[in-house]
Amino acid sequence: MNTDELRAFQREILGGIPADLPAAFPRSEDVSHAPVRKDILSPAEKELALRNALRYFPAETHAVLAPEFAQELREYGRIYMYRLRPSQPVKARPISAYPAKCDQAASIMLMIQNNLDPAVAQHPEELITYGGNGGVFQNWAQYRLTMQYLSQMTEEQTLAMYSGHPMGLFPSHKDAPRVVVTNGMVIPNYSKPDDWERMNAMGVSQYGQMTAGSYMYIGPQGIVHGTTITVLNAVRMNDKTGSGPAGKLFVTAGLGGMSGAQPKAGNIAGVVSVTAEVNSDAAHKRHEQGWVDHVIEDVEELVLQVRASVEAKEAVSYAYLGNVVDVWEAFDRAELFVDLGSDQTSLHNPWAGGYYPAGLSFEASNKMMASDPDAFADHVKESLRRHADAVNKHTARGTYFFDYGNAFLLEASRSGADIMNTDGTGFRYPSYVQDIMGPMCFDYGFGPFRWVCASGEAADLELTDRIACEVLEDLKKEAPAEIQQQMDDNIRWIKGAQANRLVVGSQARILYADALGRMKIAKAFNDAIAADRLAGPVILGRDHHDVSGTDSPFRETSNIYDGSAFTADMAVQNFAGDAFRGATWISLHNGGGVGWGEVVNGGFGMLIDGSADAERRLTSMLHWDVNNGIARRSWARNEGAEWAIQRAMDQEPLLKVTLPAHAADDVIAEALK
């Protein structure tokens, strides 16, 4: 970046909301835009929405802004304040480019910009990073004000973020988090999807998803690793004959923010995959990025190609440009055997563009969901019933179908689909956490640890990859049999990471690791920074989709069977515990993954700079950040977690966890006679 550009960029950040309004300019044609949100506000609430938006600006500008914002509300269902979009490119720059009084604040600016980079974000001009509605901010005034606060912040202050709104800088202390984020926290009885629509339209709450509103999204790579682990283990679990992945067929849907990782994971796992996608832009984007091998528009042609690939035992991925229901039905008619099936449409957001119903075009759906939301909802429900019927025909022939944490089973059941088990006590199919991620990863503490090289240099990422690999190989030598397979998969992943060219946006890496692995890798990075082997500091973080950060009964905690799956103590404890153990920023969200009101989840970011202080903080916080969840999983009597927490206590004498006693079945039966 030349000096003039850098100055202009810094000036804009320091200026916050400019006293002289920038000229209005139309929203861009060449980026994807969020669907028009439904017109839900009463006339009085519309007044409130406008008043709320205008409170960011001096009264003398209101005559210009009020009609403009009213028009946005009418046209898009939200006030995004497009006029306030920054004039300088939004992207992760090296940490030294940010005008800040402390590196911690600069690291947060870097991550915010990464989440809004048009190459990374799903609907960048509506400040949506992924998942259709995962917002970083609700409007551009909040973005500008937040960046300005961060540029002014010292290590004696903490910024309070209320659902994208920067409430302000408050005095705190050096050890406190620099930013505390909450997104979508509402009174529990007011947590239905329409409550979100209403509060978001009024500009008072937002859906932060997981890593969107917490500034920790690292592009589709973040999810490729987890998806690869899931697909790999689903294949292993269902490989009754021991023939391996070659020639196995995986059918699913979605080529969006996270779902776009599925074909790549399929290729890495060595299967034939078909991913349906109704949005032509999304399908072609993934094809151009090399995430999927072929795009096919005709379903009969798809049948022919897929059959040939299965017979040739190719590792290949197909995108079908159309509705996933049509794929399931066509493959049934053609009697094409599907080994594995799932779905990653955004059913956490079924009524506002997350799920496109069969029989209605993409364009017609987009119109109807805003103009006639009730009729659109009927189409969605009808499609989900058809969808489930088609899947059921395949599973009757032996397909292994699993819910991919997108609320497919939940919404299908609410739509009256034939998806419940025979005694009506639960769903007919498991979630991927119940069968795969929970017992194989989370219960042992393995989860989506990630880091970003704040220098922005590819060489730093390469070195951190090597360091992480060495640490894991060392740990593997001593690792007990219970976790050897996980260690092998993770070493294989990090060895192939450079060749798989996964970086989009910041120089970031994801690597599943357990508590010991995360602590040792982070300490090794800190040592490398201190020794000047790395050109800059490193930002640590994780996905919320992890061992401890998320209470989500239909996903992360779906393998908790002691009745506590609908409690959220673990996620809240995690957030608070990370805060006072040294996180640079922390976040707590309502919603994320399976939907508003269905989950509480949290995460953190931590800047490490090679100092002894950074070592103290990373050791203390990462230990808690994983072991909190293992302790809870162990208390729920999950076998792997009972083993893992005992191991953690053997390693750390200060850790003392309450362990469960197991009651024998006959004692219970006798007592309840």
Residues that bind ligand NAD (CB under 6 A): 122, 130-132, 223, 226-227, 253-259, 261, 276-279, 282, 323-324, 344-348, 354-356, 404-406, 545, 593
Question: Over the range 50-64, which residues count as b (16 or more CB within 10 Å of their CB) and which as e?
Answer: bebbbebbeeeebee
Q: Which is nearer to ligand NAD, 166 or 591 (CB)?
A: 591
Sequence length of the chain is 673
Q: Which is nearer to ligand NAD, 45 or 389 (CB)?
A: 389
Inter-residue contact 298 to 261 (CB < 8 Å): no
Q: Which is nearer to ligand NAD, 149 or 207 (CB)?
A: 207
Residue 626 C-beta: closest distance to ligand NAD, Å: 19
What sign does the CA torsion over 298, 304, 306, 308 have? negative
Q: Which is nearer to ligand NAD, 178 or 545 (CB)?
A: 545
Residue 98 C-beta: closest distance to ligand NAD, Å: 28
Q: Which is nearer to ligand NAD, 10 or 500 (CB)?
A: 500
Our measurement of the distance from residue 96's CA atom to the centroid of its chain's CA atoms, rounded to an integer in Å, reads 27
Tell me if residue 468 falls in helix, strand or coil: helix
Our measurement of the distance from residue 366's CA atom to the centroid of its chain's CA atoms, rounded to an integer in Å, reads 24
Residue 116 C-beta: closest distance to ligand NAD, Å: 16
Q: Which is nearer to ligand NAD, 13 or 437 (CB)?
A: 437
Q: Which is nearer to ligand NAD, 258 or 607 (CB)?
A: 258
Burial class of residue 661 (count of CB atoms within 10 Å of its CB; 0-12, 13-18, 19+)? exposed
Residue 248 C-beta: closest distance to ligand NAD, Å: 19
Residue 133 C-beta: closest distance to ligand NAD, Å: 8
Residue 406 C-beta: closest distance to ligand NAD, Å: 3
Residue 210 C-beta: closest distance to ligand NAD, Å: 8
User: Residue 276 belongs to what H/E stretch?
Assistant: strand 272-277
Q: Which is nearer to ligand NAD, 281 or 488 (CB)?
A: 281
Q: Which is nearer to ligand NAD, 131 or 166 (CB)?
A: 131
Tell me the Cα Rg of the chain.
24
Q: Which is nearer to ligand NAD, 354 or 553 (CB)?
A: 354
Residue 428 C-beta: closest distance to ligand NAD, Å: 19
Residue 593 C-beta: closest distance to ligand NAD, Å: 4
Measured between its terminal Cα atoms, the distance across the chain in Å is: 76
- The DSSP call for residue 21 is P
Residue 373 C-beta: closest distance to ligand NAD, Å: 16
Tell me how far apart the alpha carbons of residues 569 and 574 are, in angstroms, rounded to a whole number: 8
Q: What is the DSSP string of 375-440?
A: HHHHHHHHHHHHHHHHHHHHHHTT-EE-B-SSSHHHHHHHTT-S-B-TTSSSBSS-BHIIIIIHHH
Name the residue whose CB lies closest to ligand NAD: 256
Residue 164 C-beta: closest distance to ligand NAD, Å: 19
Residue 254 C-beta: closest distance to ligand NAD, Å: 3
Q: Which is nearer to ligand NAD, 286 or 647 (CB)?
A: 286
Tell me how far apart the alpha carbons of residues 477 and 473 are, in angstroms, rounded to a whole number: 7
The values of phi and psi at residue 523, to 5°, are -65, -40
User: Residue 112 belongs to what H/E stretch?
Assistant: helix 103-116
Residues in contact with 449: Cβ distance below 8 Å, sequence separation at least 6, in sequence order: 510, 511, 512, 513, 517, 518, 521, 540, 542
Q: What is the DSSP string of 529-582?
A: HHTT-SSS-EEEEE-SSSSSSEE-TTTTTTT--SS-TT--HHHHHHHHHHHHTT
Q: Which is nearer to ligand NAD, 584 or 587 (CB)?
A: 587
Q: Which is nearer to ligand NAD, 344 or 506 (CB)?
A: 344
Residue 326 C-beta: closest distance to ligand NAD, Å: 8
Tell me if residue 98 falls in helix, strand or coil: coil
Joined tokens for residue 620? 């203390």
Q: Which amino acid is it at 124?
A: P
* List of long-range contacts for 112-115, beta carbons under 8 Å, 24+ apart: 112/136, 112/143, 112/146, 112/147, 112/150, 112/215, 114/215, 114/217, 114/218, 114/452, 114/505, 114/506, 114/508, 115/211, 115/212, 115/215, 115/216, 115/217
Return the residue matching tokens 């259709």.
Answer: 132
